[in-house]
Amino acid sequence: MGQAWNNVQKHRQGKGKFYELMSKADDVIVIHYSCESFYDRPDGSSPRITSIAVRNLESGQTTSFSIHQVAERKGFSAIALEQHYDQL
């Protein structure tokens, strides 16, 4: 029961933090990122970040930055994207 009780306590703490953030939504910005696979790294290199989204919790306004969007603007095809990641 010890581990189950710890999980319940963590859940309660997380829920409390969530409500605290929601009560101050005008001061909160949420950032989410996506990256290449962590598993397909035969050379052990760090995966590259491929997109970042930033959202104002109060207004819901979201801005995203994506390597795929940049590639589209520069006229690269989806197939050519992989070959030009570092350039983009």
Any bridge partners for residue 57, and if so which?
none
Q: Evaluate if residue 57 carries a pLDDT over 90.
A: yes
Give yes or no for a contact between 70 and 88, defined as CB atoms under 8 angstroms apart. Answer: yes
Mean pLDDT of 76-86: 82
| 17-35 pLDDT per residue, tens | 999 999 999 999 999 999 9
DSSP state of 39: S
Give yes or no for a contact between 30 and 54, defined as CB atoms under 8 angstroms apart. Answer: yes
Tell me whether strands 49-56 and 29-35 are parallel, antiparallel or unpaired: antiparallel
Give yes or no for a contact between 86 and 71, defined as CB atoms under 8 angstroms apart. Answer: no
Residue 88: band (very low, low, confident or very high) from pLDDT cuts 50, 70, 90:
confident
Q: What pLDDT score was predicted for residue 1?
A: 65
Question: Of the candidates 87, 34, 30, 21, which has an alpha carbon nearest to the alpha carbon of residue 61?
Answer: 30
Question: Of the candidates 16, 48, 14, 49, which has an alpha carbon nearest to the alpha carbon of residue 31?
Answer: 49
- 14-23, 53-62, 73-82: least confident range: 73-82
Q: Evaluate if residue 78 carries a pLDDT over 80.
A: no
